[in-house]
Structures are given as C-alpha cells and as structure tokens.
Amino acid sequence: MSQFKPSAVQTPPRERPPKKPAAAPKPKPVTSEAQVPSDIPEEPTDETFEAALGNNTRKFALTCSLVFIFLRFSFLHEFLAARLHFDTHILLAVGFLAYLIALLSGTAQTAFSDRSTWFWLGFGALMCMATVTSIWQGGSFAIVFPYLRTTLPFILLIPAVVFSTADLKKFVNVIGLAGATVILLGATSGDFRSGRLAMDTSSGSIGDSNDYAAHILLVLPAIAFLTFSKGRNLAVKIIGGVIMSLGLFQVLSTGSRGGLVSLIATMLYVLKVSSLRVRLGILLAIPVIVVLAIPFLPSESAVRLEGFFKKDTGESEAIASTQARTALLMESLRATESHPLLGVGPGEFMDFQGKMAHDRGEQGMWHQSHNGYTQISSECGIPAAILYICAMISAFLSLLKGTKAKSEQIRTLSRVFIIMLVSFSICLIFLSQAYSFTLVVISAVSVVIVRLLRQPENKAEKPASVSIG
C-alpha cells in the first residue's frame, strides 16, 4: 500500500487551472453631458415628452395659442377696433383661453428648464421694481400691467404647447399667414400712395411708419416659409411671391431709414447663411423689385430714403429727424447715468426728459428714446438691460444650435427665427419697441428648438426642402 495518502496529494502549481481574468469594469453609461452641450439643462424624460405629445388638452391649448399668435402678429384685433370704433377684446378672450388650457394641460412648467425663461422672468421682476420707484407710478403701471398680462407669459405658453416639429411648423405658418394679412391690410391704408405709409390701428402698435416697417421685415421670413415649403403648388408660390414683393414695397413706402438699414443688414446675413440657389434668387429679385418700386414710391418717402445715400446739409425733415434722434439718444444715456439701478420708470423717459429740459430752461422734446436698448436702460435700469440682452443672446445661441441639427426641418425652422431675430434686433436700434412681444416669442421658440434637439426621432427625420437655407 502506498505510503502517500490521496488526501495529501497536492496538485502541482503548473497543473492548477488558470485563474479567470478579473472582469473588466463595466463602462459607465454615457451621460447627457456627453451627448449634448453641457450648457443645455436637463429635460423631462422621454415618457414625459411622449405623454405631452398625446395630451389632448395640450393639443387644444395649441389650437387656441395659434389663434392668439395670429391675432398678435396680424394686429387684426386693432384694425377691427379702429374700424368698428370699439374694442372687441377678442385678443384678451383668446389669450386667456390659451393660457388657461395650457395651464390645465400640465405642461406649463416645461419652459423653466431653459435659461432664457429665467432671463425674461428676471427682467419682468425688475420692471415691477422699477415701477415702484418710478417718477410716476401710474404711468409705469399702464406699461407694466399689459406686459405682464399678455406679453411676458409667451415665454411659458409656447414651450407648453409646442412639442413637435409639426407643431412648430404650424406655428411658423400661422405667423406667415398673419404677416400676409398685415401686408394686405396695409394696401388699404389711405397713406399707401399719398405719403409715408402708416397704419390706422386703435392702439397704434404699428401706427408709426417705422414700427410698421419693422413688423413687415419681421414677418417676411415666415411668409417665405409658408410660401415656398416643399409641397406648395405653383399658385401658392406665385401669390406668396406677390405678397412678399408688396411687403418690400411697403417697407420702402414707409420711408423708414432704420427699416432700410435692417433690410440691407438682414439681406447680407441671409446671403451669408443661405444656399447658392437662394443667394442667386435674392441677388436677382431684390434689384428688380427696387427698380420697379422707385417710380411708385410716395414722394416724401423717396426723399427720406434718398437722403440716406447722399449727404444733405439742408434743413430737410429727414435731417431734423436725425438730429432729434441723436439728441434723444444722448438724453436717454444721461437718464441711465442718473438712474442706473432701476431707471426712471417704464414708459417714463419722455416725462423725465421734458422735466429735465424745463429745469435747464430748455424746451423738452417729449418723445420716446427711439432706441430700444437705451429705452430699457433709462426706464428700467442697467441690470434690466443686461438681462434683456442676455435673453436675446441666449435665444440666438439656441437657434444657432438648431441650424446645425441633423434634421433638415429643424435647421430650416431655426433659420427662419434667427433671421427674424437679426432683423428685429437691428430695427430696435431705431425704435422704442423694447416692450414688444416679438423678442419674448422668439426666445420661447428657441426653448422649443433646444428641446427638439434632444429628441432622438428628430435625428432621422426625412428631409423637407424649403427655400430658406
């Protein structure tokens, strides 16, 4: 019998089964920070997004909001009030319904994930504070209350109801339809051929020639999208082209030199970012429209625009207007310097300037600043102006991201709104339209664009060819 016991036998090291290699650490899941730029806040889960898409209450709120947007951009409610000689309050009724249904849909909180929303809410808060310290609180309240009631809530309403590319296309088409309505109504103005074109509206939102020119330039990109999107028949393209040409003619008929500057600058921007086909179309169409329009321009408008291209040392109305605007700009800067934190109060620059001129033994000009940026700084303070400009920059950057999306539809829609933003921001240098709804609407759309960029289905959408970009 062997002297070695089986239990004592040791397996030689070389005969031992090889040790299993240690399991490699599992790769960390790719976070949202690796998928999207780190400066974009977190969004709701896909389940939340899908639930919102199928939310019937949200869909009804979208319909009400589209009607509200049409009234806002067409100013049809103001035209009706001017013709009927009483306010129908249709804008307030439709707006209240849109906000109420959007609130009931449960999607109203979605806008808070974007910094643009907080910039605008902060600006609204500073407007309220500036009203408390205003040189005339009653006058400022008359500006702030309508702004808080019908303008600022757009930053919450639009992201609450627009959840898909199809929704956003409807939104742009409605703005285009509203723009076409404004242009057609403008053709009925008594000043269309006799003098500087101006609109007869009840509240005067676009009653001034310069304001009207700015609004037409604002809506032209949306009209182009409505007219030349893929699938439009030839008749629609011809009608849309005629309306756009009429709109350009109306811009020239206003005699607005600020509108002319914005038109030239916007066209240069469009030429820079558009496709070769669009560039050729613009380069061929614009000179033809201008040459054909010159013989039919109102004489007063023609003289004002002519003075833009040649130096005139006379005492023409255009030269006097330029000198007055320069003086108002300097006065608004002085008001900003003397009231840097909260300004003189929303809507109160005119009264402040008149009082200061009286104290100096001079005659007050009793006009607004005619510069939207110094309008904010002088009436609401420098912090409010900073938030205002930050909101514009934030919207621009978000829309710029949209122009680089894989989805052609999102790229095109982003270009439409970025052109609108560029156009209006230039016009704002010459206008007292800082409290307009326009920039709030564009910022709200930028919030929607950022949210759409996060949705995976948009990365594989079929391209939809349109002529812009």
* Least confident interval from 150-154, 179-183, 409-413, 451-455: 451-455
- Residue 410: phi, psi to the nearest 5? -65, -40
If pLDDT is split at 50, 70 and 90, which confidence band does 195 have? Answer: low
pLDDT exceeds cutoff 70 at 171: yes
Q: How confident is the model at residue 307 (pLDDT cuts 50, 70, 90)?
A: low
pLDDT confidence band for 317 (50 / 70 / 90): low
DSSP state of 297: S
φ, ψ dihedrals at 424, nearest 5°: -70, -35
Gap between the Cα atoms of 243 and 313, Å rounded: 37
Distances (CA, A) of 286 to 252, 264, 276, 291: 12, 10, 16, 9
Q: Is residue 310 part of a domain?
A: yes
CA distances from 427 to 24, 57, 335 (A): 61, 38, 22
Model confidence at 204: pLDDT above 50: yes
For 11, counting Cβ atoms within 10 Å of its Cβ (0-12 exposed, 13-18 middle, 19+ buried), the class is exposed
Query: Is 207 among the domain residues?
Result: yes
With a cut of 80, say whether residue 426 has pLDDT above it.
yes
pLDDT digits (tens, 9 = 90+) for 435-449: 999 999 999 999 999
**Which of the four pLDDT bands, split at 50, 70 and 90, describes residue 7?**
very low
The confidence score (pLDDT) of residue 467 equals: 44
Average of pLDDT values for 155-178?
95
Q: How far apart are the first and last CA of the chain?
A: 96
* Number of folded domains that form the chain: 1
Say if residues 369 and 331 touch (Cβ distance below 8 Å): yes
User: For 458, phi and psi rounded to 5 degrees?
Assistant: -75, -15
Work out the percent of the chain whose per-residue pLDDT is above 90: 47
User: Looking at the domain assignment, is residue 54 inside a domain?
Assistant: yes
Dihedral over Cα of 300, 302, 303, 309: its sign:
positive
pLDDT tier, 252 (very low <50, low <70, confident <90, very high otherwise): confident
Classify residue 428: in a domain, yes or no.
Answer: yes
Query: pLDDT for 96-154, tens place per residue?
Result: 999 999 999 888 888 898 999 999 999 999 999 999 999 999 999 999 999 998 899 99
Q: Where are the alpha helices (DSSP H) in 229-298?
A: 234-253, 257-273, 276-293
The mean pLDDT value for 416-441 works out to 94
Domain containing 170: what range? Answer: 43-460
Q: In angstroms, rounded to a whole number, what is the distance separating the alpha carbons of residues 469 and 246?
A: 22
Q: Residues of the chain with pLDDT > 70: what percent?
A: 80
Task: Please tell me which of 35-49, 66-80, 181-195, 384-398 the model is most confident about, judged by mean pLDDT.
Answer: 384-398
Residue 99 inside a domain? The answer is yes
Supply the mean pLDDT for the chain: 82
Q: Which pair of structure tokens corresponds to residue 395?
A: 């919207």
- Radius of gyration of the CA atoms of the chain, in A: 28
Average pLDDT score over residue span 41-56: 64
Question: Any residues with CB less than 8 A from the CB of 304 and at least 6 apart, and which?
Answer: 196, 255, 256, 257, 317, 318
Which string of DSSP letters, residue by residue, matches 110-134? GGGGSHHHHHHHHHHHHHHHHHHT-
Q: What is the distance between the alpha carbons of residues 206 and 215, in angstroms, rounded to a whole number?
A: 7
pLDDT band of residue 411 (cuts 50, 70, 90) is very high
Determine, yes or no, domain membership for 180.
Answer: yes
For the stretch 223-250, pLDDT in tens is 999 998 888 899 999 999 999 989 998 8
273 contacts 402 by C-beta, under 8 angstroms? no
Specify whether the CB–CB gap between 428 and 261 falls below 8 A: no
Q: Which residues contact 286 (CB under 8 A, 6 or more apart)?
A: 248, 267
Tokens encoding 299: 């004489």
3-state SS class at 384: helix
Among residues 409, 384, 323, 329, which one has the least CA distance to residue 134? 384
Flag whether 314 is in a domain.
Answer: yes
Q: What is the pLDDT of residues 55-75, one digit of tens each?
A: 889 999 999 999 999 999 999
* Phi, psi torsion values for 220, nearest 5 degrees: -60, -40
336 Cβ contact list (under 8 Å, min separation 6): 343, 374, 377, 378, 381, 382
CB-based contact 93:223 (threshold 8 Å): no
Q: What is the pLDDT of residue 281?
A: 78
What local confidence, expressed as pLDDT, does residue 44 receive? 47
Helix axes 154-161, 90-105, angle to 10 degrees: 60
Q: Please tell me the predicted confidence (pLDDT) of residue 465.
A: 42
CA geometry: angle 440, 155, 401, nearest 5 deg: 75
Does residue 251 carry a pLDDT above 80? yes
State the DSSP code for 305.
H
Q: 307 or 268, which is more confident?
A: 268
- Asked whether residue 95 is assigned to any structural domain, the reply reads yes
Segment 252-262 mean pLDDT = 87
Task: Name residue, tokens 């977190």.
Answer: 42
Using an 8 Å Cβ cutoff, are 135 and 351 in contact? yes
The pTM for the full model equals 0.83
